[in-house]
A and B are shown apart, each in its own frame.
Chain A
Amino acid sequence: MDFTIPLLILAIPLGMFLLLGLAGMKMSHKTAGVLGTLGMGTVLVLSYFTAFQYYFSGNPEFISEAGQRLQSIIFNVDWLAFTPNLVIRLGFLLDPISAMMLIVIPTISFMVHLYSLGYMKGEKGFQRYYAFLSLFSFSMLGLVVATNIFQMYIFWELVGASSYLLIGFFYTLPSAVSASKKAFIVTRFADLGFLVGILILSFYTQTFDFITLTSDPGSVLASTAGATFMGCSVLTLAMVLIFMGGMGKSAMMPLHIWLPDAMEGPTPVSALIHAATMVVAGVYLVARMFPVYLQVPSSLEFVLVIGAITALYAAVVACCQIDIKRVLAFSTISQIAFMMVSLGVARPEIHECLGYMASMFHLFTHAMFKALLFLGAGALIHAVHSNNYTAMGGLRKYMPITHITFLIGCLAIAGIPPFAGFFSKDEILVAVYGYSTFWGIWMSCVAGLTAFYMFRIYYLIFWWNEPDYHHRPHDGEMVMSLPLIILAAVSTVAGFIHFGEFVTWQGHEYQIHMDYVVAGISVAIALVGIFFARFLYLKENDRPRRMADSCRWLWTAANRRFYWDEIYMFITHKIIFNGICRPIAWFDRAVIDGSMNGLAIVTNKASVAIKNLQSGRVQQYVLLYLIGALLLAVITAWCVL
């Protein structure tokens, strides 16, 4: 395939970033917004075209005679050569998952660009906002098409930085500043693991290249056999550390704390970065390295356990949040954890790695309906100027479009057929039950909780009781509603895509079989969740309060997110800041600098002491001279005798 179009997919957002970033201040808001949106629109078209080429052209570059989808490098240029083997290349890799991401990212990004024209209207720094969006799109696209792990790391850092910039968009708000800082530092910490993982892996395999690593992992990894580092097998260590990077970006426990705070950013940004695209980078990373992970089943177990715990934790916490964006944030964490679990249980012997396919499928559908939910939440916040559901209620009458689309989103995430979430979640549950019943039941419970908390906020927002609105809420303007409608439509029908045809582990087609037992159970659980929510929150009543009172400590704990933030605060502030940084700074000033100053003082004192010998008092000189002379005489005499 010609490299022009793929190159343009990356170059246009970058160019747009530079253009808007450097010249944005000279433009009007409208020009900048339209320019950014048009740029993204072009990218959207180009990447649809590319993905279409990949899936449907039948080009032998992309699909073998036997119908296996291939990994194809469109271009790959040397960027930085560390050693002859270890070279960072910047390239463009097309394979089933990157082609899928080429659909997801520009779609969501374009929707968000469009939506923001309305949502961010009149905000100070509008041009800057679009510049950052472009930067993010560039980095995210660069990340998914990375041909080697280091390219991925580069763009990984770049998405982190653009996320930082966008979270802190309202830089005058201290909460936004600290949220952005937190997001960056937590993910940076995770990236440290990623980096060390890369260092270890690349040292032993002498390659960064994904294709080399994944096409025949057994032989590439042969050199790691038996190698240990501080008592662990290096390979396990490397894979776990690389996963740590993914944990950070994808907000897995215990590195999840930044994501809820990241909701301080503008809502469209939350939709784009913190719901649909960047946060799934961790999942994408594991999927990318999946053949290597398969070589180390213990690391996949690790992925599974982390994922499962996070899923439950986030779902429980989501039930007790007041801020609707926080609810959505925890729901995102929980759903990403679903994907992680799904990857964790993927084994060739279990439905031909169904988990892998299911995870990617869920990534796809989740991106759509979660972006929808966030944009819907944005419309709500725009209308009532508050993030809390307590300021909302009965909005179905005022905001019909938002209501319907939000409901579709909720149904999709709850896994009610025929909405998209049902199909993908069902595949995940099938995969999990195939692996172990225990985790299957666990994840089913989480799915039930998902339905409950989503409908909880749905009812609280759109039903419940109507507070006094200062001015009548209404749907957003057309540029805001249009993305909602489009995404709602996609969320409705996306489940019917034969995903197994397009994205599977090794590119072989996989026929999805509906497992009616699992499907039935999950739908039933979801319905139970929904009805429970309806029972509690349809109309104003005191049942929710009574329920919360009945186990107050649990409610408080969940509301405070099980005190993770406090724990982190304690570790970072009390232990690291007060326990390490301050003592070191003190040590530096007092001991190191003190000893240097001490040296100076001693010299000074000594010179003062010696200075007294040069007193100008002749008699003292003579006395000293005499003593010296006599001593010399004695010594001489001593020697002579």
Chain B
Amino acid sequence: MESAGSIIMYWIIALSIVIFSVLTVTTRRILRSATFLLFTLFAAAALYFKLDYEFLGAVQIAVYAGGIVVLFVFSILLTSHPGHKSERLVSHRKWIGVLAALAALVVTGGALISRCGLACASLPEMSNPTMKTIGAAMMGTGSEQYLLPFEAISVLLLACIIGGVVVARKR
């Protein structure tokens, strides 16, 4: 049984995720869309905090909210005129989108419901992973340690940096 605060906290997070997600994709102003994405991302970060993954939440805020959304905003400002509204959606397009989303919802939701026992697991106790354990796991080569993916990601990021420079370079 969780504390009422925790429950209220949960509802705030869940509702803001749902509302901001919907707003992200329904607003016709692209800059607003990015802003709502930012809120969604914050909500997700809050969720991580609530689930005791502080480090992850921090990363989420730093990388996503701080990095990616800023990138978005920059690029939006670069590519569109202020106050520009995207044109109204053609209705069949909208319906295709709605149908696809609903289908995914139904299928996945159906799967969730059919595995009710699993879905109804309650929150177990967990000690907060400390920075030390996270660092050891990331840099270690043993079981449940992730040096190889870490290195792979590093290389990937490097490639992305170079690729980004090459692609965006003015010819």
- Chain A residues within 8 Å of B, Cβ to Cβ: 623, 626-627, 630, 633-634, 637, 641
Given A633-B111, A637-B110, A637-B111, check contact A626 B96 (CB 8 Å): no
Q: Which residues of A contact B111 (CB under 8 A)?
A: 633, 637
Interface of A is mostly: helix
Most buried by A among B103, B107, B110: B107
Q: How far is the CB of B55 from chain A (nearest CB, A)?
A: 32
Q: How far is the CB of A623 from chain B (nearest CB, A)?
A: 6
Which residue of B is nearest A637, CB measured? B111
> Do B103 and A630 touch (CB < 8 A)?
yes
> Do A630 and B96 touch (CB < 8 A)?
no
Q: How far is the CB of B19 from chain A (nearest CB, A)?
A: 24
Q: How far is the CA of A623 from the CA of B110 in the complex (A)?
A: 20
Q: Which residues of B contact A637 (CB under 8 A)?
A: 107, 110-111, 114
Q: How far is the CB of B90 from chain A (nearest CB, A)?
A: 12
Q: Which residues of A contact B104 (CB under 8 A)?
A: 626, 630
| Choice from B96, B100, B107 contacting A634 with Cβ under 8 Å | B107
Q: Which residues of B contact A627 (CB under 8 A)?
A: 100, 103
Q: Which residues of A contact B108 (CB under 8 A)?
A: 633
Q: How far is the CA of A626 from the CA of B107 in the complex (A)?
A: 11
Q: How far is the CB of A171 from chain B (nearest CB, A)?
A: 76
Q: How far is the CB of B68 from chain A (nearest CB, A)?
A: 20
Q: Which residues of A contact B103 (CB under 8 A)?
A: 626-627, 630
> Do A633 and B100 touch (CB < 8 A)?
no
B145-164 vs A, Cβ < 8 Å mask (1 yes, 0 no):
00000000000000000000
> Do A633 and B107 touch (CB < 8 A)?
yes
Which residue of A is nearest B93, CB measured? A619
> Do B107 and A623 touch (CB < 8 A)?
no
Q: How far is the CA of A626 from the CA of B108 in the complex (A)?
A: 12
Q: How far is the CA of A627 from the CA of B110 in the complex (A)?
A: 16
Q: How far is the CA of A633 from the CA of B106 in the complex (A)?
A: 11
Q: How far is the CB of A231 from chain B (nearest CB, A)?
A: 74
Q: How far is the CB of A137 from chain B (nearest CB, A)?
A: 91
Q: How far is the CB of B21 from chain A (nearest CB, A)?
A: 17
> Do B100 and A623 touch (CB < 8 A)?
yes
Most buried by A among B96, B100, B114: B100
Q: How far is the CA of A96 from the CA of B153 in the complex (A)?
A: 111
Q: Which residues of B contact A626 (CB under 8 A)?
A: 100, 103-104
Q: How far is the CB of B112 from chain A (nearest CB, A)?
A: 12
B73-84 vs A, Cβ < 8 Å mask (1 yes, 0 no):
000000000000
Q: How far is the CA of A630 from the CA of B107 in the complex (A)?
A: 7
Q: Which residues of B contact A641 (CB under 8 A)?
A: 114
Q: How far is the CB of B87 from chain A (nearest CB, A)?
A: 16
| 4 more CB-based (< 8 A) A-B contacts, given A623-B100, A627-B103, A641-B114 | A627-B100, A633-B108, A633-B111, A637-B110
Which residue of B is nearest A623, CB measured? B100
Q: Which residues of A contact B100 (CB under 8 A)?
A: 623, 626-627
Q: How far is the CB of A284 from chain B (nearest CB, A)?
A: 91
Q: How far is the CB of A288 from chain B (nearest CB, A)?
A: 91
Which residue of A is nearest B106, CB measured? A630
Q: Which residues of B contact A630 (CB under 8 A)?
A: 103-104, 107
Q: Which residues of A contact B107 (CB under 8 A)?
A: 630, 633-634, 637
Which residue of B is nearest A633, CB measured? B107
Q: How far is the CB of B24 from chain A (nearest CB, A)?
A: 17
Find residues 100-139 in chain B having any chain A CB closer than 8 Å to their own CB. Answer: 100, 103-104, 107-108, 110-111, 114
Which residue of B is nearest A640, CB measured? B114
Q: How far is the CA of A223 from the CA of B84 in the complex (A)?
A: 105
Q: How far is the CB of A509 from chain B (nearest CB, A)?
A: 111
Which residue of B is nearest A626, CB measured? B100
Q: How far is the CA of A623 from the CA of B100 in the complex (A)?
A: 7
Which residue of A is nearest B99, CB measured? A623
Q: Which residues of B contact A623 (CB under 8 A)?
A: 96, 100
